[in-house]
Amino acid sequence: ENEVKKVDLFENGTVAIAEISIPALRKIQRVRVDLPGLPVDLLRKMKEKNVDFAVHPMDVNWGAILLDFLGNFGFPLLLLGSLLLRSASNRTPGGPNLPFGLGRSKAKFEMEPNTGITFEDVAGVDEAKQDFEEIVEFLKTPEKFSALGAKI
């Protein structure tokens, strides 16, 4: 009768390599068996029949683990980081801080220091002259106006 001499269990007990003694052929044959899992009954029966068995741990494939980690966390973190950097680089004082310039006005304020317009040029327009004088006075003494709550 054939007799199992030794069993080696691999891949968390899902693969067994058994050494079977065949007396009629006077040889030992190795057989691979795929198991649906590691049944406790199998271990108990091997102990009862005094069959040598060994369980071999799985080899850890660090390359696959690293690629899995980068695929699951690396790409989303890279995408989030690029959005944050883009939003931080486009930040304008006083404006909304939305990515890609959403909600930002396209209007540009260009300040020319010397336009060549003087008070004499607007001499006939009393309201314009008065407005300019108020602006100049505000720029010279802003404390006086800010006490009243004025802002530009």
- Residue 118 pLDDT more than 80? no
Pairing of strands 15-22, 27-34: antiparallel
The pTM for the full model equals: 0.38
pLDDT at 93: 54
Residue 99: pLDDT band by 50, 70, 90 thresholds? low
Q: Which CATH class is domain 3-55?
A: alpha beta
Average per-residue pLDDT for the chain:
78
pLDDT tens per residue across span 54-81:
888 877 788 888 888 888 888 888 888 8
Q: Which residue has the tokens 């060549």?
A: 116
Domain range list for the chain: 3-55, 62-101, 116-152
* Lowest mean pLDDT across 2-16, 23-37, 40-54, 89-103: 89-103
Q: Which is more confidently placed, 101 or 67?
A: 67
SS3 state of residue 27: strand
- Residue 112 pLDDT more than 80? no
CA distances from 57 to 10, 15, 65, 122 (A): 7, 12, 17, 93
Cα–chain-centroid distance for residue 120? 63
Residue 123: pLDDT band by 50, 70, 90 thresholds? low
